[in-house]
Amino acid sequence: MKEIVVASTNEGKIREIKAMLNEIGIEVKSIKDVFDEEIEIEETGKTFQENAYIKAKTICDMIHLPTLADDSGLEVDALNGEPGIYSARFMGHDTSYDIKNQYIIDAVKGKEKGARFVCAMALCIPDEEPIFIEEYFNGEINDCIEGENGFGYDPIFYVPELHKTSASLTLEEKNQYSHRAKALKKLYQILKEK
């Protein structure tokens, strides 16, 4: 396998995947490199894994090249696993993460603070069985918004063993502990053996 198309337009995500897979000689392209127009894929799955598979399979069927997709988000125990697969759309697409984050902080006050980031990946290869990976980054909801690194829910996701939020981690720390970094390491090992 010489190249993989990532079913995403998220620059940060593509940069992370490129850094890992270029090491084993796999060229990584985004869907922007393959399509002239924007491709909208409806995520109708009930799990992160189903949504990752829907994205990867849809693009793979269109271009007949190995396609990787991930679906990730935050699950909060006190909110029965919400925002979950709706993490990006939680409280509406146009709602700022400052508002979403403050809402979650307020919602867990006096309750169980356990939470986890989930990253599910699906790699579809023409005429082969898909490869599925799922990894977790466990922590808890912080009492306040804290940290300048990262994005989304990182400023409220507290990592007890590091005594700071995900948004306060260095890139090196994030690449060691995060759900996406763990999933990418697994993918790297699988592709290295192929």
CA nearest to 166, candidates 146, 136, 143 = 146
Structure tokens at 176: 């060691």
Domain at 189, CATH number: 3.90.950.10
pLDDT digits (tens, 9 = 90+) for 52-94: 999 999 999 999 999 999 999 999 999 999 999 999 899 998 9
Confidence at residue 23, expressed as pLDDT on a 0 to 100 scale: 82
Question: What is the percent of the chain where pLDDT is above 90?
Answer: 73
Residue 33 annotated as catalytic: no
Catalytic residue chosen out of the listed positions 71, 98, 106, 143: 71
User: What spatial distance separates the first Cα and last Cα of the chain, rounded to whole Å?
Assistant: 8
Structure tokens at 37: 């127009």
Mean pLDDT of the chain: 93
Number of domains within the chain:
1
Helix (H, G, I), strand (E, B) or coil at 152: coil
Give the C-alpha separation, 4 to 194, whole Å. Answer: 14
Strands annotated E in the chain = 3-6, 27-30, 67-76, 114-124, 131-141, 157-159, 164-165
pTM: 0.90
Range of the domain at 118: 3-193
Residue pair 145/155 in contact (Cβ under 8 Å)? The answer is yes
Give the C-alpha separation, 158 to 12, whole Å. Answer: 21
